[in-house]
Structure 1
Amino acid sequence: MTSYVGEVGLDGSGHGRAFLELQRASFEFVLEALGRRTHLMSIHSRGAEAEVLDRLSAHGVQRAVFHWYTGPLRLVDAILSAGHAFSVNPAMMRSASGRRIIAQIPADRLLTESDGPHIRLEGQAQDPRAIPALVAELAPTLGLTPEELAEQIFHTLKALLSPTKGEEAPFRKGHL
């Protein structure tokens, strides 16, 4: 069985709403198949953020990364309290709502992503080469230098990928 699962979740946006029941069944299948084993999951939650968080909690998932989170600000703290992290991409820095969400995420719960080739900025499909520029842009928002943020992202990823045996989750109270 794999240690990493992604991208799974629910899409309650206009595109996904017509297939929400099928998505729910698929997401439930994945969550049940994983049981309470430790896996790092990349989570899609667009338009269904509270429901996704509820399903993760109900299944004991304690290590998830909310990918390109666009949901309500009021849920950011609940997601963090549940022990999860967020991945952000260049498109999030281009919108006021994305910047507000990023401002709510502590640096030790933040990862970067390009989400390429889906994201196009200035006509260019994004790929991992966009990450250094994203880190440089994010750093002042978080009160860090780009070097400090890059180091923090590395430590966050390391914590997510290597919990100690028996540890519930790397971000539970007292872990970082």
Structure 2
Amino acid sequence: MRTSDVDILIVPGWSSSGPDHWQSRWERTLKTARRVEQDDWFAPEREAWVGRIIDATVASNRPVVLVAHSLGVAAVAHVAERIPKGFLSGAFLVAPADVENASAWPDTEGLSLDGTASGFAPLPKKAFPFPSVMIASSNDAYCSLDRANALAEAWGSTLVEAGDVGHVNSASGHGPWPDGVLRFGAFLRTLEA
């Protein structure tokens, strides 16, 4: 598959993705990409987030590939438990947020997500009914590489260790993220039409 063959649903994490974040850039440059909007990006509610992702998937006319970051990855894990097989063609998961250990997260923009993230815990541990790849960093403050590996194994995701690249967001220098574009293209080529 190519980007023109699929509907790319961008699933940001907490606080959405700012204008310089790679997800926002992909949304602007990939013609078939659109963001799954949420009512409240700063006080996420699991059921609302999951419902919005499912609604956007069902409303799509082409095969759907989710592109999730951080807390968006946790939301996709909950979607995978509920959505019937065949509705999603795949998921590209970047820098998962370990919501079960949110008390160890640093404050972001002066705010703590500990209580907010608890609504997403515990994370499902069943294999996804669609192919997925997870990009994880060895020095991500929101999820250790060991934990990312355990999640990828439980979900049946292919884990790609990206090295010491932080949380793969604007703050870690991943605005354009050309390596991510290449990895995403390679992932799409593995999917069946």
Report the TM-score when normalising by structure 1: 0.49
Larger radius of gyration: 1
Report the TM-score when normalising by structure 2: 0.45
